[in-house]
Structure 1
Amino acid sequence: MFDAYLANTWIAGTVVALSAGIIGIFVVLRGDSFLAHAIPHGSFAGAAAAIYLGVSSVVGMGLAALAAAVGISLLGRKRQRRDTVIAPTLVFLLAGGAFLLSLGGNYTNQVYALLFGQVLAVADSDLVLMTALAIFGIIVVAIIARPLLLSSVMPELAEARGIHNGVIEFVFTLVIAAVTTASVPVVGAMLLFSLLVAPPAAACLLCSRPVRAGILSCVFSLLCMWLSIALSVVTDMPVGFFVALTCACIYAIAKITSIVRAR
């Protein structure tokens, strides 16, 4: 389980878990779960196009995730219209990615890896790019943390204090795109959603203060990822399945705990 050939696996999993734990807190506070579900599908379509063209799938993921983030931000400027933009975008990108993969060979294996992750096959070059993107996303969130938090929980007050909610929203959408590009090769486009939402949501149920919730979210995300990698190595089953399972279990335990505490 801790052999040398798995070093990239553990490093990549840790990077993904920490970035998802930090970014996910704001995804939950802002109610952007649907957005966090849609952008990974954009990265899936980009990776499929890159594979078809014979170039790096990670580069394709990044470009497509960026395009999806910018498109959704521009077309859905009003929050009440955003869902109507995200829904058809999500379906189109997922179907387009599947179509592009079907044009090439080895369709089943490529779809499987992109949708459900391939944490045991992270190359050194991909690991460097993934880490750089994750660090970039964390740094940007740290810089805009105060206005981002205020615009997330009290957007009217943020506007009154001179914070441009539209700009903050656009920057945060780009951060989600960066974290998506870093995470999809590990957990897959379909299951990144669970890592970005379930551990942070569980942390928010147990902690009322954002800083404590962020720390607990990282702890939950690391626990989910490390346990999932261990189970994947032992059972030779896809890591994405265990990520979804452990995330669901942690959220269920947190929900039950919050109900008991309230009583």
Structure 2
Amino acid sequence: MFSSFMINTWIAGTAIALVAALVGYFVVIRHSAFAAHALPLGAFPGAAAANLLGVNPFVGLLVFVGMGVLLLRQLARIGRRDVGTGLLLVLFLGVGALFLSMTSEYAPEVFSLLFGEMLGVSDADLWPILVISALVTVVMITIFRPLLLDSSFPDLAALQGISAARMDLIFLSLLALVTASALPVVGAFLVFTLLVGPPAAAQSLSIHPLRSLLLAVIFAESSIWSAIALSYWTNWPIGFFVGMLGAGLFTLARSYRHWSQRQRPVVQVSGL
């Protein structure tokens, strides 16, 4: 499990879990889970186009995810965000199917980005993941307070001169970068589970921002480490374990919150 060919997977998984928790915290409080599901599917047409043109799949992935951010913002301006996200999802799937139909060769790079490839993290794949993770972490630390204020109290943020449009663009860009870096390990179909499951579980246990963020990081790291180990032992896809652990964490956290609320004593006021 700690062989030389597994080291890159452990390093990449640790970096991905960290930034997924940081950005995923805002995915939950900004109610952007649907966008976190749609943007990773930019991997499908991106990898298919890269395979068709004979270029690095990661380049095609970044291009299409970046286009997804711009299209998502534009569609949100002319209509509801959820409608725009749904249209973007359909567009990605349709364009990806078109590109795949234009090639007669089997495209393993496309399917590895869709479903994840635990043993496919090479040195060439690892460095972009580390650079993106470091960039996202620095930006998140820099804009944490204004983004938190804009996400929780947008009217107050506007009074303090914080641009909602700018914050939304930065947030979506960070979300796109995180999804792009996570795809080689967990795959497009389940990357949003890593973005939503641990942060949602953490926010079910604590309403304090920093405490909740720390719990989200702990849950995300535990999920990805457990998923890598279980995938190694069983030879099952790592994305399956990420999805199961994310859903399990959220279910347990919500159940504990419900139980603890029921255990609180009811204060009765006499004379009423």
Normalised by the length of structure 2, the TM-score is 0.92
Paired letter, 1:174 = S
Distance between the aligned counterparts of 1:77 and 1:148, measured in 2? Answer: 20
User: Who is 1:67 aligned against?
Assistant: 67
Residues 47 and 110, structure 2, Cα contact 8 Å, conserved in 1: no
Residue 75 (structure 1) shift: 2.6
Residues 46 and 57, structure 2, Cα contact 8 Å, conserved in 1: yes
The 3-state SS of whatever aligns with 2:77 is coil
Runs of at least 5 residues in structure 2 that lack an aligned partner in the other structure: 263-272
Give 1 or 2 for the bigger CA radius of gyration. Answer: 2
User: Who is 2:269 aligned against?
Assistant: none
User: Who is 2:58 aligned against?
Assistant: 58
Q: How many residues align?
A: 261
Distance between the aligned counterparts of 2:49 and 2:228, measured in 1? Answer: 28
Residue 84 (structure 1) shift: 1.3
User: Who is 1:123 aligned against?
Assistant: 122
Is 1:3 matched with 2:24? no
Distance between the aligned counterparts of 2:26 and 2:156, measured in 1? Answer: 17
Deviations 1:189-224 (A, max 9, x none): 110010000100000000111111111101101111
User: Among the aligned pairs, what percent are the same residue?
Assistant: 41
Distance between the aligned counterparts of 2:93 and 2:222, measured in 1? Answer: 29
Runs of at least 5 residues in structure 1 that lack an aligned partner in the other structure: none
Residue 110 (structure 1) shift: 4.2
The 5 Å alignment of 1:89-128 reads 89-104=88-103, 105-107=105-107, 109-128=108-127
Residues 98 and 111, structure 1, Cα contact 8 Å, conserved in 2: no
The 3-state SS of whatever aligns with 2:218 is helix
Residues 114 and 188, structure 1, Cα contact 8 Å, conserved in 2: yes
Distance between the aligned counterparts of 2:22 and 2:249, measured in 1? Answer: 17
The 5 Å alignment of 1:20-169 reads 20-77=20-77, 81-104=80-103, 105-107=105-107, 109-169=108-168
Residues 205 and 212, structure 2, Cα contact 8 Å, conserved in 1: yes
Q: 1:102 to 1:123 in 2, by over 3 A?
A: farther
Residue 157 (structure 1) shift: 1.0
Residues 119 and 239, structure 1, Cα contact 8 Å, conserved in 2: yes
Distance between the aligned counterparts of 2:82 and 2:163, measured in 1? Answer: 21
User: Who is 2:260 aligned against?
Assistant: 261
Is 1:246 matched with 2:245? yes
Paired letter, 1:191 = L
The 5 Å alignment of 1:195-210 reads 195-210=194-209
Distance between the aligned counterparts of 2:199 and 2:76, measured in 1? Answer: 25
Residue 106 (structure 1) shift: 1.4
Distance between the aligned counterparts of 2:129 and 2:99, measured in 1? Answer: 24
Distance between the aligned counterparts of 1:17 and 1:177, measured in 2? Answer: 15
Residues 43 and 114, structure 2, Cα contact 8 Å, conserved in 1: no
Residue 111 (structure 1) shift: 4.4
Residues 47 and 109, structure 2, Cα contact 8 Å, conserved in 1: no
Residues 21 and 199, structure 1, Cα contact 8 Å, conserved in 2: yes
User: Who is 1:186 aligned against?
Assistant: 185
Deviates more, 1:249-258 or 1:129-138: 129-138
